[in-house]
Amino acid sequence: METAGPRTRAAARLGAHATREEQRKRRPVRRWQRRRIGEEQEEAVFREVVSFTRDPLPARYYDKDTTKPISFYLPSLEELLAWTPDAEDSFNVALEPLKCRQPPLSSQRPRTLLCHDMMGGYLDDKFIQGSAAQNPYCFYHWQCIDIFVYFSHHLVTIPPVGWTNAAHRHGVCVLGTFIAEWKEGGRLCEAFLAGDECSYQAVADQLVLIAQFFRFDGWLINIESSLSLAAVGNVPPFLRYLSTQLCRQVPGGLVLWYDSVVSSGQVKWQNELNEQNRIFFDSCHGFFTNYNWREEHLDRMVAQAGERRADVYVGVDVFARGNVVGGQFDTHKSLELIRKHGFSAALFAPGWVYECLEKRDFFQNQDKFWGLLGRYLPPHSICSLPFVTSFCLGMGTRRVCYGQEEAVGPWYHPSAQEIQPLFAEHRPEGDGQGWVKTHCCLADAWNGGSSLLIRGVIPPEVGHVAVRLFSLHVPVPPKIFLSMVYKLEGPSDVGVALELTTGDAGSCHVGGISTLSEASSRHSPRPLRVPPTKLARWVGHCGQQLSGGWVQRCYEVNLRGCVLQDLWVSFSRPPGSREQEAFVCRLGELQVVDANSLLSPLPRVQAVSVSRVCWQRAAPEEEEEEEEEEEEERRPARLRLSCALHWSYPLSHVRCFRIHCCRATGSPAEGPPGPEKPALLGLAFVNQYRVVDLAVAAAGPGTDGRVEFLVEPVPREGFLVPKAEWGRAALLYSGPHT
């Protein structure tokens, strides 16, 4: 009988997932109807009788304490081979495709790999819909790295989706880890490597399917167990097969091998690429060396690697364990030697700054660590539009939406991290007094949980200072619109302007520019006082003071034959001033969009459904303590509602979805309640969301409780969508039958 090929097997499994998903959608749901609530709006109405019977959730996919969706790993070979895509897995699929970048990862420029190993992994980052973590670890120097590896000591480490979304948004590819250690790891490897090719191909097929389904980019293979000659002999064909199949299913996929096992099957860390491990390097895309190397190891590797020097990732343990050249705040010493020899670098566990130093100084220490490495980490450039960022770190002490505070309290949601700038200090050439420096700022935000704080000094002898925020390589359309939201701290008349750098100067024609130096390709566009009428939905407050002291500047630039290379912010001294001028500015948002994309109609959120409804009685201590004691008897009992929301929307159009709710009780004859301000529940990065422990009032005799859920799409171009285009569904519920 002919054996199905790997692509056929993968397609069959994905097809089985689709079949199960269709069956799930066809399952009988609780009674529902559609109700027209406006000229162009409809909502689905679902009815429930409250029941306290629990519907157990699969432990792999939901946190046992909170029932929130979580990212997961596979601890055994049996679970790896048995895994097939399930409806529950959809929570963990990345929204963000890997953004294009320059230079591409396939270039021979030495790369930088970050291997994230922190306290066993799957900490607060495992919560797909975010958590209320205080002082979590946050990485934001994305423009300095090329590859992100999520590492743990479980057999199959699937990267939490928040990391994949954040990395892909910055053009950084993401790898999971396949690791086998100690005696148990050896037994496991013998089980699939010591036999025929079908055994190791089955494991490789599953690894490919997992990366393809969850939309990350490949694997670090780390076998630190002694192998028999039969097993080690099958490692090279296993790596070749895995690499080939991955690249067929995942464009740009990567398979890297860690320096551990040698060709004899023994575990012997070589700290270099040499004849004892070269066969593994030749069988995959790259080689990650152990950490205890010296410069003589690098000298020998130059000849071994040949034209593939960029595919050798020289390991650097940031914790500085063992006999290493440099780690901790001396990591730059290792980077200097690695770059001197033309190799790529693999930084292992840079979370040292978080784990071992004071949490209250985390941002300062993080910036210090990466600042010391800056000269050895050439940034890569983003090369697609729209380019929109509010500088949100995916965390904060409160939530803000376009200047309006929505919630107070700590939150952490890695998927919500937006594109981060270059963090650096810039000093104008030939001047020792002027400077500009950028920092993260959780104290204030325009949209999300943070903004970009820019401090600087304009010395008496110069008219302005500027800082480069983003490295780009965007072949721009004929007309682009730009927007900048900022605010100056304290009384200050310092001028703030957005500047662009364009390439292809010989053929590039730029219009809508107020200053254009013939000796430079850096331009300052003219601000628009009023946006074009058709674009009012995108920017309706150009040049105006907004809430919280924020100001929005809008720009229109006409280009022909140009490549947009950099975004700068410039600060100029007030007219007539001859003194040194210090300034503090917060940037809340930057947008660069193709004018034509703003004219396209947006799809609507459709087919919002409510399912997997679960009720709990609220514990006495959860009752609203602020109410007066004499009103206690009149206040309705409280319930906790958990449920799943699903909807339909093309994910290529959105940055995320904002999920809201409105709550009420009343008689069925009275109809729906009047307008109420929706309360934000959270953010979703797929077409589903799990509502967890939402406090609602119990329905009294003869009355219905009512919860309306609203799904607000957030377009990639970065503007508010009218409520008429939101999706909505209402859940009506009555008390349990007696």
| Within-domain flag for 89 | no
**Nearest partner of 51 among 644, 608, 642, 702, judged by Cα:** 642
CA distances to 268, 445, 465 from 498, in Å: 55, 19, 12
The predicted-structure confidence for 555-575, as pLDDT tens digits, reads as follows: 888 887 888 899 999 999 888
Final residue of a domain: which of 379, 403, 430?
379
Same domain, residue pair 612 and 688: yes
Same domain, residue pair 606 and 530: no
Residue 157 · residue 129 · CB < 8 Å? no
What pTM does this model have?
Answer: 0.91
CA distance 102 to 85: 33
| Within-domain flag for 585 | yes
CA distances to 247, 382, 476, 726 from 386, in Å: 28, 11, 10, 22
Q: Which residue has the higher pLDDT, 402 or 522?
A: 402
Q: Which residue has the higher pLDDT, 203 or 517?
A: 203
CATH at residue 473: 2.60.120.260
Same domain, residue pair 517 and 606: no
| Within-domain flag for 578 | yes
**Nearest partner of 327 among 303, 310, 348, 358, judged by Cα:** 348
What is the DSSP secondary-structure string of 400-450? EETTEEEEEEEEE-GGG--------EE--TT-SS-EEEEEEESS--SSBS-
Same domain, residue pair 575 and 618: no
pLDDT given at position 538:
61
| Within-domain flag for 11 | no
Same domain, residue pair 697 and 665: yes
Confidence band of 397 (pLDDT split at 50, 70, 90): very high
CA distances to 232, 288, 330 from 258, in Å: 14, 5, 24
Same domain, residue pair 431 and 560: yes
Same domain, residue pair 303 and 234: yes
| Within-domain flag for 81 | no
Confidence band of 243 (pLDDT split at 50, 70, 90): very high
pLDDT given at position 672:
53
The predicted-structure confidence for 300-334, as pLDDT tens digits, reads as follows: 999 999 999 999 999 999 999 999 999 999 999 99
658 is in which domain, residue-wise?
19-65+601-734
Handedness of CA 146, 150, 156, 158 (dihedral sign): negative
Q: Which residue has the higher pLDDT, 699 or 264?
A: 264
Residue 411 · residue 442 · CB < 8 Å? no
Q: Which residue has the higher pLDDT, 665 or 71?
A: 71
CA distance 369 to 593: 33
Cis amide linkage into residue 69, ω under 30° from 0 = no
pLDDT given at position 605:
95
Final residue of a domain: which of 379, 413, 429?
379
Number of structural domains the chain divides into: 3
CATH at residue 668: 2.60.40.10
pLDDT given at position 425:
83
Indicate if the pLDDT at residue 375 is higher than 50: yes
Same domain, residue pair 510 and 444: yes
Which of 213-227, 326-340, 707-721 comes out lowest in average pLDDT?
707-721
pLDDT given at position 517:
46
pLDDT given at position 11:
46
Angle in degrees, CA 69, 648, 391, rounded to 5: 60
| Within-domain flag for 667 | yes
Same domain, residue pair 356 and 401: no
Over the chain, what is the mean pLDDT?
Answer: 88
Same domain, residue pair 182 and 210: yes
Residue 242 contacts by C-beta under 8 Å, 6 or more apart in sequence? 204, 207, 208, 219, 221, 255, 284
| Within-domain flag for 324 | yes
| Within-domain flag for 80 | no
With H, G, I as helix, E, B as strand and everything else as coil, classify residue 96. coil
Indicate if the pLDDT at residue 213 is higher than 80: yes
Confidence band of 669 (pLDDT split at 50, 70, 90): very low
CA distance 61 to 89: 7
Looking at the chain, the whole-number percentage of residues with pLDDT higher than 70 is 85
Same domain, residue pair 321 and 181: yes
Final residue of a domain: which of 578, 599, 620?
599
Indicate if the pLDDT at residue 258 is higher than 60: yes
Same domain, residue pair 191 and 282: yes
The predicted-structure confidence for 578-626, as pLDDT tens digits, reads as follows: 889 999 999 999 999 998 888 788 899 999 999 999 999 987 655 554 4
pLDDT given at position 422:
94
- Other residues' Cβ atoms within 10 Å of the Cβ of residue 117: 21
